[in-house]
Structure 1
Amino acid sequence: MSLPAAFLRDVERLIPAERRFDDPTSTLAFGTDASFYRLIPKLVVRVESEDEVVELLHMAQRQRVPVTFRAAGTSLSGQAISDSVLIVLGDNWNAREIRGHGAQIRLQPGVIGAQANAWLAPFGRKIGPDPASINACKIGGIVANNASGMCCGTAQNTYHTLAGMRLVLADGTRLDSEDPASVAAFERSHAGLLQALANLGRETRANTALAERIRHKYRLKNTTGLSLNALVDYDQPLDILQHLLVGSEGTLGFISAVTYDTVPD
């Protein structure tokens, strides 16, 4: 099935030709990540700003076009491939902000994990996750997959060291959990979603057997499916939402920045 003509026209107006790829060689190359799966995208788009991501999501929603996000493509499970539209991070997603002498670091999703640790090294700190591919994988993938590696266990993975997140939902809405104005606007525009999350959390915690089963499943490393432990670990809907994004593999939204509580190196 081909992409809708209206969608393609909109994308052509938004994204310069040098950042759109639909030729067989490019789509074949982007149809592969570090897994043994292959899906050939119909269109690959390299994005350089959050505004472009928002507009692409609006277009995709109007035309019912599935999209998939890709950072470094080091995924072993096929999360970074698509047979529809593949949205790839460009070179302008490398901003960082170091806070409190390295106690926290805010990163955009295009930062390579090892680079984040290099910035933190003078403070004797590092980010908690330590996936084997840390020299190549990017923060967007580390967060979206709740990557952890062999050493950090569960205590220092993204889920447990998350201090804040900036995200874009499928409807193009932006939320920055560290910006009071953004939070207030989101609480007005998405009150129903937040209420539903609060109710779901209360119902889950009230179901003793279910809550204990979730806690039992997540006492060890568990990156299968959504982070349902958010429903028992948190009662504030914004906390539930941003922790559900961790490990969601791009299914719930686009992560445009994340703040980590760092750990001693």
Structure 2
Amino acid sequence: MSGFFRLTNQQIIADLQKLVGKEQVLYTRVEREARAGDASIYRLVPRVVVLPRSIRDVQALLDYCRTHELYLTFRAAGTSLSGQAVTDGILVDVATHWKGVKVLDEGRRVAVQPG
């Protein structure tokens, strides 16, 4: 059973605020609606939006979601034509603090860090 059925939105929001900071967790209807779509025909309103600032924030989010069986979706510019950037779960918006791009191994790998 998904954690979304066991935890209230208020509990998820409070937990995420403790993990990454209050200002990095968006939960008002307007904030969530602003990120509810991409360039596809799909539109899902996320339960909460998180703006990670660091790799540690992302690790904490992944640990939390794994522990509580919650799903999350990563979003950058929201330009997907197939709906990959929309969710009715936790949306992790990395565009706000997107930086730290490093090209590795002569272009065969890339390391990207929000924050």
Q: Give the TM-score range, shorter chain.
A: 0.7 to 0.9
Q: TM-score, normalised by structure 2?
A: 0.78
Q: What is the CA–CA distance in structure 2 between the aligned matches of 1:67 and 1:60, rounded to whole Å?
A: 7
The one-letter amino acid of 1:77's match is S
Paired residue for 1:253? none
Paired residue for 2:7? 4
Q: Does 1:88 align with 2:93?
A: yes
Task: Return the index of the structure with the highest Cα Rg.
Answer: 1
1:208-227 paired onto structure 2 within 5 Å: none
> Structure 1 residues 42 and 162 mapped into 2: Cα distance closer, same or farther (>3 Å)?
same
1:18-29 paired onto structure 2 within 5 Å: 18-29=23-34
1:19 CA displacement: 1.9
1:48 CA displacement: 1.2
Root-mean-square deviation over aligned CA pairs: 2.3
Unaligned stretches of 5+ in structure 2?
Answer: none
The one-letter amino acid of 1:35's match is S
Overall identity of the aligned pairs, in %: 31
Instruction: Say how many residue pairs are matched.
Output: 107
Q: Does 1:15 align with 2:20?
A: yes
Determine which structure has the larger helix proportion and give its number.
1
Q: Does 1:74 align with 2:74?
A: no
* Greater RCO (CA < 8 Å, at least 6 residues apart): 2
CA distances 1:44-97 after superposition (whole Å, capped 9, x unpaired): 011111110000000001111110000000111111010010000144332245
Q: What is the CA–CA distance in structure 2 between the aligned matches of 1:87 and 1:67, rounded to whole Å?
A: 7
1:2 CA displacement: 6.0
Q: What is the CA–CA distance in structure 2 between the aligned matches of 1:10 and 1:2, rounded to whole Å?
A: 16
The one-letter amino acid of 2:23's match is E
Q: TM-score, normalised by structure 1?
A: 0.37
1:14 CA displacement: 1.6
Unaligned stretches of 5+ in structure 1?
Answer: 98-104, 107-160, 167-255, 258-265
Q: What is the CA–CA distance in structure 2 between the aligned matches of 1:71 and 1:59, rounded to whole Å?
A: 21
Paired residue for 1:33? 38
Residue 163 (structure 1) aligned to one of 91, 108, 112: 108
> Structure 1 residues 74 and 48 mapped into 2: Cα distance closer, same or farther (>3 Å)?
same
> Structure 1 residues 35 and 64 mapped into 2: Cα distance closer, same or farther (>3 Å)?
same
The one-letter amino acid of 2:7's match is P
